[in-house]
Amino acid sequence: MSTQTDFDVIVIGAGIAGLSAAALLSRAGCSVLLLERGAQVGGVCQAVDSAAGRVELGATMLTGFGPDGAVGHLCDRLGIRLTTRPCEPIFQVALQRHRLSLFADPDRLWPEVRREFPADEAAWRAFLFEMDLLAREQRNLAALLPACPPEGLRARLAAWRILGLGKFIGVGKQAVRMITEAAAVPARAALARHQLCPASQQVIDAALWYLLLRDADECSTLEAAMALHALREGSVVVSGGISALVEGLRERFQETGGQLRLGTEAGGCLAERRRVTGVVTTAGESIRSRWVICAIAPEVLAGRLLPAQHGWLRRPAPAAGPWPAEYSAIAAAVSVPERYFPSELSERCLVVPRADRPVRTGNFAAIHAGQDAGGIAGQADTRTVTVCRFAPTDALAADGAIEASLLDALDQVLPGVADLRAASQTFGPAALEGLWGRPLAVVRYARPLPVHLGRGGFGHRLGWAGMLWAGAWTHPGRSVSDVVEGATAVADLILESP
């Protein structure tokens, strides 16, 4: 027999998005229930124990700690204090014949460019100047617009007035033209226009793939500008890793009266008269609430949680499937004796093994060698390194082949690592899903997503009153800062509602 409990808000999914929205709402005085199907909070933002030591396999880079950064703003609102230091270099990119460290500080970046690509220095300066200019103008324009994507007739009209008419009238018409043109032109065109050499273009491709899971052929010039600008503003290393942010959010949520239920899976939503009124768990418990926030993968939302639509007026839900995975994450944790660890390797290194293949074919690996990652328990002279690839889903092979491909990429910056490793463990897509408790947690979906002023994804509203999506669903590989920004927007929508 089911029971009923009343809450102001039920949040489904205790990843960074769910935790952020739940903590903000609970601190504002709402009664909040947070449901998580897994055994712990954090989603992909949590440390795991492996044969090679304790590591973070999911999101490891934190941006958004600048003056206007979403993560820094969230921590200020919740009173979370994290020990951070600037991430310099932000990361390295290792090609077959080049290794370039990308610094946020231009005074440190230009000597790197001059050493590796002396004939390209002027082109690099012009390209990055254009990216910074576009990002600044996008920010100024976004401040005048309703939330992107605009939801509702009034918001759409306001956006059209600024972006449509704004190209022809007003003092900012040149900026609007520049932004809208950059949103329609692939980033590859900007690289070609500035005459960057193929190796320099591979560096940019690797950075965009790491951040957006799209290369310069697949994302617009404006999207590339926004991604690269975010890297250079407020990128930090957090003491204790991203798990420290997760724990801070959990503590603030529970300190303010929020209720957390682990191992509790939502099986569907209660609905009455086109309004969602609560959640039914897979155990059969009915829990009523004024609002339901879904901070989960779109295929779960579309396949199980959205109520069935009835009547002749059926609006298409933005989360409707199918959601085939085009690229999936594979990873390995490798423990290496400290004496073999090269001092020139940065904490994050993006490896492009071959010069004749694009990164989207799997010709890419991201290596995280955090200074406080530790090693095998009881062996203080080892350091644990993680290496991750985003491989085409239809090309994934057996774990043995996956491990070989990851070690080959790691061998480019740690020669002989296959023989030097003290221990290692490989994580294929199924293993990562089991660790994170989320199906296809780190993937790129084959379904094209709409782009709004350089931001990919769908709106927060799902066509049902009382139901919101925690953040626009962007291409996986999106930054923690973007997730936090979306979750904050959802919390504020509820707090501002009558």
Domain ranges of the chain: 6-46+65-82+239-321+448-496, 105-234, 324-436
Q: For the residues 161-165, what does the mean pLDDT come to?
A: 85
Per-residue model confidence as pLDDT tens digits over 391-413: 888 776 555 577 888 888 899 98
Joined together, the tokens standing for residue 323 give 């959601």
Q: For the residues 236-253, what does the mean pLDDT come to?
A: 91
Residue with tokens 């998580």: 36
Report the mean per-residue pLDDT for the chain: 87
Q: What H or E segment, with its residue span, contains residue 469?
A: strand 467-469
The reported pLDDT for the residue numbered 374 is 56
The reported pLDDT for the residue numbered 1 is 38
> What beta strand segments (E) does 208-324 contain?
236-238, 259-262, 266-272, 275-281, 286-294
Q: For the residues 412-435, what does the mean pLDDT come to?
A: 86
Q: Does residue 371 or residue 160 have the better pLDDT?
A: 160
Q: Report the relative pairing of strands 53-56 and 47-50 from DSSP bridges.
A: antiparallel
The reported pLDDT for the residue numbered 476 is 47
Q: Model confidence at 418, in pLDDT bands (50, 70, 90)? A: confident
The reported pLDDT for the residue numbered 445 is 85
Q: Report the relative pairing of strands 275-281 and 286-294 from DSSP bridges.
A: antiparallel
Contacts of 462-465 spanning 24+ positions with Cβ under 8 A: 462/294, 462/301, 462/306, 462/317, 462/318, 462/319, 463/315, 463/316, 463/317, 463/318, 464/269, 464/271, 464/274, 464/275, 464/276, 464/306, 464/307, 465/274, 465/275, 465/276
Q: Model confidence at 441, in pLDDT bands (50, 70, 90)? A: low
Q: Report the alpha-carbon distance of residue 185 to residue 218 in Å, rounded.
A: 10
Per-residue model confidence as pLDDT tens digits over 350-392: 999 999 999 998 899 999 886 554 556 556 688 888 999 888 8
Q: Taking CA 41 as the corner, what is the angle to CA 37 and CA 44, rounded to the nearest 5 degrees?
A: 95
**What is the Rg, in whole angstroms, of the alpha carbon atoms belonging to the chain?**
23
> What beta strand segments (E) does 152-285 contain?
236-238, 259-262, 266-272, 275-281
The reported pLDDT for the residue numbered 311 is 62
The reported pLDDT for the residue numbered 153 is 86
Q: Report the alpha-carbon distance of residue 247 to residue 205 in Å, rounded.
A: 34
Write down the CATH number for the domain with range 6-46+65-82+239-321+448-496: 3.50.50.60
Residue with tokens 């900012």: 172
Asked whether residue 8 carries a pLDDT value surpassing 50, the answer given is yes
67-71, 148-152, 376-380, 421-425: segment of lowest average pLDDT: 376-380
Per-residue model confidence as pLDDT tens digits over 292-309: 999 988 888 888 888 877
Q: Report the alpha-carbon distance of residue 85 to residue 331 in Å, rounded.
A: 26
Percent of the chain with pLDDT over 70: 92
Q: Report the alpha-carbon distance of residue 268 to residue 408 in Å, rounded.
A: 44
**Identity of residue 111:** P
Q: What H or E segment, with its residue span, contains residue 382?
A: strand 382-392
Q: For the residues 321-345, what does the mean pLDDT come to?
A: 86
The reported pLDDT for the residue numbered 379 is 62
Asked whether residue 440 carries a pLDDT value surpassing 80, the answer given is no
Whole-model pTM: value is 0.92
Q: Report the alpha-carbon distance of residue 279 to residue 78 in Å, rounded.
A: 27
Name, in order, each residue with C-beta under 8 angstroms of 232's C-beta and a sequence gap of 6 or more. 90, 104
Q: Does residue 456 or residue 104 have the better pLDDT?
A: 104
Q: For the residues 109-119, what does the mean pLDDT come to?
A: 96
